[in-house]
Amino acid sequence: MTDTEGRAIGPSFPCAWLDEALPHLRRPPAPEAVRFKIQNTSGDVAQVVASVDARLVFDRLDLVCGGRWKPRFEELPEALVPPPCDCDGQPLARPPIHVRCRLTCFGLSREDVGDVEDPKAAFSDAIRRATVQFGVGRVLYAMRAPWLRAGDGDGELRRNRKGRLILVERTEAWCRERYGRWLGERGSRLFGEPLEHGDEAGASGVEAGHETNSEQTGPSTKDAPDRPEHDTASTVVPMPERPGSSAA
């Protein structure tokens, strides 16, 4: 049951205790609320992952938990901050800011760390990752991330003036439709029916103007699978050999 703006309502919200809340916290976001970003690039193909913004996280916590949730932010202790280097050991031009969020829901606390360059985005990244510990957005880690090639089709990427692969609205719509099909075939059975919050595709989130490819919550580079999924769509291609690697 939803209100006139599409938000879920009913006698079950907010929940009375954590065990009642957890199944609703982990329910999938509606396709309109899911965003997509390029996570890894190799030549003419790139891996695209799904994510949600902090606004959906706040809406989900408010709806399901009412006033029974509270975040606490703090700087990550220096001893836990990794060296500001890329995967090749080269110094980063702009080291990320590390923010730890301890999220308490119904008296139980869980925490995680946000690590992006922009201060505002670091706080948003931290709370989004902390909510994954309670199930919010966890469904996005269960769906395999496709590798898409450059081209002009619906499920293909474009290149900008600098030659970088980018997502356009047409490709995002294809990804969103694919996510909806996955929910119908498997996701809803595993995580429950989608819980809507009145989202419209393309609506700006609270991080508008502050997001980069590494600043949205969803599977990160270290979370991404080593191999792409084998999809029937012609635009999903096998993972190419990494530069400098040799065949077994």
- Determine, yes or no, domain membership for 223: no
* CATH number of the structural domain spanning residue 105: 3.30.390
Residue 140 lies in a domain: yes
Range with lowest mean pLDDT among 60-69, 128-137, 197-206: 197-206
Q: Which domain covers residue 27, as residue numbers? A: 18-191
| Structural domain contains residue 158 | yes
Whether 179 is in a domain gets the answer yes
> Between helices 18-25 and 54-65, what is the axis angle to 10°?
150
**Could you report the per-residue pLDDT of 225-242, keeping only the tens digit for each?**
433 333 333 334 433 333
Number of domains comprising the chain: 1
Q: What is the mean pLDDT of the chain?
A: 83
Q: What is the pTM of this model?
A: 0.77
Residue 248 lies in a domain: no
**What confidence score (pLDDT) does residue 87 get?**
79
The CA distances from residue 20 to 17, 65, 71, 105, 106, in Å, are 6, 10, 20, 12, 11
User: Among candidates 147, 133, 132, 71, which has minimal Cα distance to 103?
Assistant: 71
| 86: confidence class by pLDDT, cuts 50, 70, 90 | confident
28 domain residue, yes or no? yes
Q: What whole-number percentage of the chain has pLDDT above 70?
A: 77
Residue 6 falls within a domain, yes or no?
no
Report d(CA 139, CA 187) in Å as an integer.
Answer: 7
Domain annotation covers residue 204? no
